[in-house]
Amino acid sequence: MKIRRSQKLKSPLNDKEIASNKRYNWVQKSVQPLVLPIIWMVIIRLLSSEGLSGESTSRFIGPLLHWVYPDWNQGQYELGHLLIRKLAHIVEFTILCGLWIRSLTELIHGKTAKKPTSVGGVVALSACISIVFACFDEFFQSFTASRSGQWKDVLIDGIGVSAMVLWAVLRKK
């Protein structure tokens, strides 16, 4: 069948379907990139609950340290437990900042951008979001019976954020 230039090609989609596809594309482009960092923030909040306080985690970290280092004294076990918990802070917020960098880069520069031309703003915004969330998390821990919100933990979280910022900046070069 030949199509003449004067004939219009009809879309297989009607107007409602086209509008629905536009809305889906908007959701896909605008909301979908935010899902992973928000899920990670929920996980961090759950990890900050009463069930994973220092007392609670000593029940499984303590025996693990005793098994790995049977010659340690009680002070060394307590220090090891503290270091593992603080290292978890660093790792949590390194991942959070990385997820925000990835998501905001996708929102601003598109999904195909491997190394966008300007990462400074994205990295700075990602770092700010991560640090504000660290403050929020410690603030809410202060209302939990077995936890205490401490500003030094925000600084420790900031080490993780700084590590990701450094990695993102060095990766750009």
* pLDDT tens-digit series, residues 25-49: 655 666 778 899 999 999 999 888 7
Continuous segment of H or E residues that includes residue 61: helix 54-68
For the stretch 76-135, pLDDT in tens is 888 888 898 889 999 999 999 999 999 998 888 776 555 555 678 899 999 999 999 999
* Mean pLDDT of the region 156-162: 96
Is 80 exceeded by the pLDDT of residue 7? no
In a domain, 119, yes or no: yes
In a domain, 133, yes or no: yes
Structural domain that includes position 95: 34-172
How confident is the model at residue 166, as a pLDDT? Answer: 94
In a domain, 14, yes or no: no
Q: How far apart are CA 125 and CA 123, in angstroms?
A: 6
In a domain, 3, yes or no: no
* Mean pLDDT of the region 10-27: 55
In a domain, 129, yes or no: yes
Q: How far apart are CA 71 and CA 141, in angstroms?
A: 34
How confident is the model at residue 70, as a pLDDT? Answer: 87
Q: Domain count of the chain?
A: 1
Tell me if the pTM is above 0.85.
no
In a domain, 21, yes or no: no
Q: Are 169 and 119 within 8 A, CB to CB?
A: yes
Q: Share the mean pLDDT of the chain.
A: 80
Helices 151-172 and 120-141 pack at an angle, to 10 degrees, of 160
In a domain, 127, yes or no: yes
In a domain, 166, yes or no: yes
Confidence label for 14 from pLDDT (cuts 50, 70 and 90): low
Structure token digits, residue 94: 């390194």
